[in-house]
Structure 1
Amino acid sequence: MKITFLGTGTSQGVPIIGSKHPVCFSKNPKDKRLRSSVLIEKNKKCFLIDCGPDFRYQMLRNDHERLDAIFITHEHHDHIGGLDDIRPFYFNMNKPIPVYGLRRVLEDLKKRFFYFFSENQKSNISKISMHELDTYKDFFIVEDFKVFPLSIWHGDLSILGFRIENFAYITDASSIPLQTIQQLKELDILVLNVLRKTPKDPSHFTLSKSLDVIQKIRPKKTYLTHISHMIGFHEKIETQLPKNVYLAYDGLIIYET
């Protein structure tokens, strides 16, 4: 299974417009972060987790022609703002693109992207099919793959992470229930969010909390994502991380075997 990090930044991306923070002036491309999303490929199938406002540019620079399903963690704009740009995939594949998410999230998409559901067949719009998830089911099947929805808390908002085989993706977490921790055992690769070192944040893990969670789950490797400029410079922070914990960066490709 091939995993491509399309973006690894927070809701504002890095650099932030108008910021004078030194990281925002970094010349290292690993310090430049689009909004967080990953593309998963296996057996000629492509799955997207989250579809943020940088989606068009992310896909242009990664050169893909198909999209078999989209899994949405939650309804915040940095995770759904690019859905309008799935049109080329719809036209290429000539079938609605399945979108999976919580009922609350799907209802929000129906309001924001109401024109997706137009009965006007002449409209130059995408068609999507909505698939409601809940965390009480062990798994759902997409293109013969078992996908496990994971219950996560983002502040006081219930959101989803996803596990496919021995790979799991969690973003925007502020806490992870014990039941979900148990679902994350025996992972080869964990992707987990980290906002910054300090100060603490009510809606996102900071570095110390992310490392505590990694110790509980004990995956073989962890890649940190949803990273703000306040974490510091990529090259410096990488040297301070424990063994087998890495900062992800835009364009990074990893494999789960």
Structure 2
Amino acid sequence: DLLHPLLRLTLTLCPVSAQDLQQTTISITKPEGKNVQINCHVSSPDFINTLIHWYQKKGNEAPKRVAYISSTFFLENRNDEGKFSVAKDLSKSVSQLTLSDIVKALFTVSSYYHKVFGSGTKLVVSGKLCVVCVFSPPANSEILQKKLENQTTYVCLIEKFYPEVIRVTWTDDEKEVTDNVVKGDAWQSAKGDDDYSIASWLTVPAENKDKKYYCKYEHEEQQASLSTQGMFHLLKMDFDLLL
């Protein structure tokens, strides 16, 4: 199996909050031999002088620094020349990590002092290019609904995506909803291919039964939103199996 190295971008600057580190891409899929660039936006009043360290972690091993940059880029190990490079886009306050001869990895961002980590970007090396991730069509139940006396449960089903890295959230018209949300683990197709599926549950009180909620997902560079009103198709058998 391929290794799952973890790279952390560590910022040696004044304490920051989680909002100061932004990684919007949760995964990148590339075949072997390709180059890849991962961006992280850093909100800092002195970004040009911020010293940024990149660390690599493989399995249970301790993190190992591979590169760092302030105004100039440095490699920790000369043997890594041509494998890693780090740059800064001063106009966008973005740190850019470029890798050659890529390996499967997860890249996250953190503040050194407060150890605040971003959501991370997983690099998947595969001979298979990422397929278009789709919600199942209405006949296969995109959102299922089950009403009880004092609550309503919605199930958002996302099928046939690759790789398995996906971010699923529920929102109302104003903000993200986190109470009474359960996200299941992605499961692989029973046929043994590389396609994955995932389900997420949202339970709301009966008084909110007419309120509109949205199931949103982010996968690679794709995003989609599905409403609980007007788009669900009830299939009692499938719903009971998911529960």
The TM-score normalised by the length of structure 2 is 0.26
| Bigger proportion of residues as helix | 1
The TM-score normalised by the length of structure 1 is 0.25
| Bigger proportion of residues as strand | 2
